[in-house]
Structure 1
Amino acid sequence: MKVLLVSANRERFPEPVFPIGPAYTASALLREGWSVRIFDAGMAWNPGPSLRRGIGEFRPDFVGVSLRNVDNAAYPHTRCYLPGHVRIVAEIRASTAVPLLLGGSGFSIFPGELMELLRAEGGVTGDGEEGLPRLLRGAKGPVVRGTLPDLSGVEFPRIADGILPSIDRYRTIGIQTARGCPRECAYCTYPSLEGSGMRFRPPEAVAADMEYLFRRHGKRDFFLVDSTFNADERHMAAVCRAILSAGVPARFSCYLQPGSSDPGLYRLLAEAGCVAVDFGTDTGSERMLESLRKGFTVDDIRAASEACRKAGIDFCHSLLFGGPGETEETIRETVRRMDEIGPKAVVAMAGIRIYPGTGIERIALEEGRIAAGESLLAPRFYFPEGDTARLLRTVREAAAGRSHWFLPGRRDWSTAIAPRLLRLIPRAGPLWRSFRRPSRCR
């Protein structure tokens, strides 16, 4: 029996994202004896003809479509991906009559709406590695919840070049070391997507994936896609030691939360090959840290930044303006804090995308911003009471005077030249590593 997995994500900004979810799911299917191929729409200039040709040649018994996101969650220039998803499904329907199954994080957040929109025969929320094989074996649906008690069986497919021809076109390969998030940030979907309890891959398995990708495909640049790599510091340290033991010349970047500031941990990160850290900071205001339920303090942000700097790791602070209680003063406080800390880059979003099951959704309901039962598939954004235009202007003015600040929602970046030029720079890690380093202000 044959399964074609289609990665529908065509977003190329700031750079193409490797389809790690379909890759891990393909590995699980291969172990059960299925014949699997992955069609990567993100690496196809015009995916329609290529997809039709791939279906005709492979002749699958099922087609699974992975929906990573439904939009870019940026305001005010929000890019909706649903029309593209509809076109992908139309190409599939025009090419084959076999059952269509949906999955991916975007589908897991909006299963009912996307089943109706795309008229699929079935779908999987949660862990696709467990849910899709079970659905294919005849589990009652149409939508099943995939649940892995642990991640010991999650691995990169060892014949990736056979099932995913586009792998060699990626500069950076995503790898996951853990799932789950014990934190309760007001806006975040990770606890509902992956659970609030942590599940870990064996550190040696993570290093083995890196070694395979280096030996087989010459890949040494990786992004660890965990929601926060340091959610469990012991696991993070064990992964770093496993990479060192394997002797892989890896260069990787990752998301961290600023609650960890042990200099020894950051030195270990650097020794293992970490070249860039993206701190999920959101704000430099103590009041807003409490409002967003971040679980760390401004002093933690300072200490983590300094530990990163001393270890020789480039770091970025990702900010999210517009939460409950945000004011012009809290924005300016955050700007002053970033000037003081001096990160390599600041990526700032204004307006919080409202997702089902989050604290922000509950607040928006209580304040009458959205109605009970209202679908959030079409993007809705939370802003505090007051002059939204003025708040946006305050953020834009801060960024305008700082060349290392970047606002994803400021314009439609899909046709921008600058990101394409930055990709030509042969430098490991995210594009912001190529930004001009700011002078630190005291």
Structure 2
Amino acid sequence: MRVALVNPNRYLEPPVIPLGLEYLAHYLDREGHEVEVVDLAFTPEPAQELSGRLSAFRPHLVGFSLRNLDTSLYHDPLFFLDEFAELISVARKVCGAPVVVGGTALLAGPREVAEYVGADCAVYGPGERALPHLLRYLEAGSEMPRLVDGWEHSFDRGEVPARGRWVDYGPYLRERGLAGFTTQTGCLGGCDFCLEAGLPWRTRDPRAVVSELASLREAGVRELHLCDCEFNQDLDSCKELLHLWISSGLDLEWSLYMKPLPHDEGLFRLLRRSGAVSVTLSVDSRSLATGKYGLLDLQSFVELARRRDLRVAVDLLVGFPGEEEGEVRDLLDFFRAVRPDTVGVNAWIRVYKYTGMGKEVRRRPPRSGTFLGSGGDPDFLRPLYYNWLSMEKLCELIGEDPLFRVEGLERRSNYERLRGPGTGASGG
């Protein structure tokens, strides 16, 4: 069957190569389907481009990958679903084929997102085997289900997806983007504000990951960014992969996201030997308050990374219900003393319908603080933020220290910030 896979994500700060569509295209091609990837990221007329490509290809199914609902930043508020809905409407008018949506945006509510954008079906979770499964309904002349759980179908651990065949990397790499890769899916964490919390966790075969990286290197790719939610979910898995990576002699530089625990000195040594150059460390004050990790764990992380010449950017989320100003001040003072390379502070918490925090505030609204944004949307698809710490007070707590920045006031990724001269680590 003919399948068109569409990347409608046109937010370019920085541009993100549609890795999920590359993986999907590989699996569909493996199953004998004819695939056309329609990448709208850089086209000045997305509706016209989409219409022309679909008219020529005449697909039996159109799949849209929806990366995000919005920017999730109060100070940079962009909402994407309306544009996605318009493009899906164009697809319907042009070819009349069923429309399937997938991607991380659906973690906010697969049925709700599918209904909002006007899709026939939603794939929740990995689509590599779920999408071929859906095509069997069409081949049999049966009606497709409205919702498919991709976690039930998952992916093949040892598969090595073809890279660079389906998407032109050139425009992305010229405009500050990096090629991505994955080593695992899901998350073992339980952060109650996060859409990825508790998703089924499964690692890829390390040999498949290294083979994929080798193919990217042969294609001329030199820099990479890891697309896992966080790399260090299991130390043994991380080290197995890194040992194989190092022994394979891959000449690559890469950046990644990590959480405070688990970690040890050996992990950082292997990361550096593999070519890792920078790490974004995700920290939230609620996890600290509930004992998931402590300040000594954060200090150890920063110091061990610095010992191996790994630059560290901290993404710091504060301002949870029940928190007090003194707790935020103490945490900022801690980072002022420990001195990672940069700390991005966010005190405006994006609330989603099905996260632990979303369920909590719907059941029992906080006694203090306020909700900002589209409080009239019962599905919380339009941006809604909880906040009790004003911009003025946050700036007062930060002071003039260049170590800190308020998230959303500039459009630069952490790996871009960490390339620049001058870091907080040199401060006193």
Report the TM-score, using the length of structure 1 for normalisation: 0.86
Q: Which residue of 2 is the match for residue 361 of structure 1?
A: 358
CA drift at 1:167 = 5.7
Q: Are 2:185 and 1:187 aligned?
A: no
Structure 2 CA distance for partners of 1:403 and 1:87, relative to 1, 3 Å: farther
Q: Deviations over 1:266-306 (max 9, x none)?
A: 011000011010001124xxxx4344x57111100000110
Q: Which residue of 2 is the match for residue 229 of structure 1?
A: 231
Q: Secondary structure at the match of 1:191?
A: coil
Q: Which residue of 1 is the match for residue 260 of structure 2?
A: 258
Distance 2:169 2:45 in 1: 14
Q: Which residue of 2 is the match for residue 341 of structure 1?
A: 338
Structure 2 CA distance for partners of 1:294 and 1:30, relative to 1, 3 Å: farther
CA drift at 1:154 = 6.7
Structure 2 CA distance for partners of 1:74 and 1:359, relative to 1, 3 Å: same
Q: Is contact 1:263-1:307 (8 Å) kept?
A: yes
CA drift at 1:58 = 2.5
Taking the TM superposition and a 5 Å limit, the aligned residue runs for 1:360-439 are 360-368=357-365, 374-383=378-387, 388=388, 390-399=389-398, 401-410=400-409, 413=411, 419=412, 429-434=415-420, 436-438=422-424
Instruction: Identify the match of residue 220 of structure 1 among 200, 214, 222.
Output: 222
Q: Is contact 2:276-2:310 (8 Å) kept?
A: yes
Q: Are 2:184 and 1:178 aligned?
A: yes
Q: Is contact 2:6-2:38 (8 Å) kept?
A: yes
Q: Are 2:147 and 1:143 aligned?
A: yes
Q: Which residue of 1 is the match for residue 270 of structure 2?
A: 268
Distance 1:155 1:44 in 2: 32
Q: Secondary structure at the match of 1:42?
A: coil
- One-letter amino acid matched to 2:101: L
Taking the TM superposition and a 5 Å limit, the aligned residue runs for 1:74-223 are 74-138=73-137, 140-147=144-151, 151-153=155-157, 155=159, 157-158=161-162, 160-161=164-165, 163-166=166-169, 169-170=172-173, 171-191=177-197, 194-195=199-200, 198-215=201-218, 217-223=219-225
Q: Secondary structure at the match of 1:433?
A: coil
Q: Is contact 2:47-2:87 (8 Å) kept?
A: yes
Structure 2 CA distance for partners of 1:439 and 1:142, relative to 1, 3 Å: closer
Q: Deviations over 1:77-116 (max 9, x none)?
A: 4211122212322332343211111111112422222222
Instruction: Identify the match of residue 300 of structure 1 among 282, 297, 306.
Output: 297
| Stretch deviating more after TM superposition (366-375 or 268-277) | 366-375
Q: Which residue of 1 is the match for residue 5 of structure 2?
A: 5
CA drift at 1:152 = 3.4
Q: Is contact 2:5-2:65 (8 Å) kept?
A: yes
Distance 1:3 1:112 in 2: 22
Distance 2:161 2:322 in 1: 47
Structure 2 CA distance for partners of 1:260 and 1:147, relative to 1, 3 Å: closer
Q: Deviations over 1:185-207 (max 9, x none)?
A: 12111135x32xx3110111111
Q: Which residue of 1 is the match for residue 287 of structure 2?
A: 289
Q: Are 2:31 and 1:32 aligned?
A: yes
CA drift at 1:134 = 1.0
Q: Is contact 1:253-1:430 (8 Å) kept?
A: no
Q: Deviations over 1:147-179 (max 9, x none)?
A: 256643475642632x22346633411111011
Distance 1:221 1:176 in 2: 14
Q: Deviations over 1:362-416 (max 9, x none)?
A: 3212433699993111122223xxxx3x5332223445623343323347x5xxx
Q: Is contact 1:151-1:200 (8 Å) kept?
A: no
Q: Secondary structure at the match of 2:133?
A: helix
| Stretch deviating more after TM superposition (134-143 or 402-411) | 402-411
CA drift at 1:318 = 0.5
Structure 2 CA distance for partners of 1:149 and 1:123, relative to 1, 3 Å: closer
Q: Secondary structure at the match of 1:229?
A: coil
Q: Is contact 1:347-1:406 (8 Å) kept?
A: yes
Q: Which has the higher helix share?
A: 1
Q: Equivalent pairs: percent with the same residue?
A: 27
Q: Is contact 2:121-2:144 (8 Å) kept?
A: no
RMSD over equivalenced CA pairs, Å:
2.6
Q: Is contact 1:7-1:65 (8 Å) kept?
A: yes
Distance 2:12 2:35 in 1: 25
Q: Which residue of 1 is the match for residue 140 of structure 2?
A: none
Distance 1:299 1:410 in 2: 30
Aligned length: 413
- One-letter amino acid matched to 1:85: F
Q: Which residue of 2 is the match for residue 416 of structure 1?
A: none
Structure 2 CA distance for partners of 1:400 and 1:188, relative to 1, 3 Å: same
Q: Which residue of 1 is the match for residue 312 of structure 2?
A: 315
Distance 1:11 1:397 in 2: 31
Q: Is contact 1:24-1:156 (8 Å) kept?
A: no
- One-letter amino acid matched to 2:344: V
Report the TM-score, using the length of structure 2 for normalisation: 0.89
Q: Is contact 1:341-1:440 (8 Å) kept?
A: no
Q: Secondary structure at the match of 1:115?
A: helix
Structure 2 CA distance for partners of 1:29 and 1:431, relative to 1, 3 Å: farther
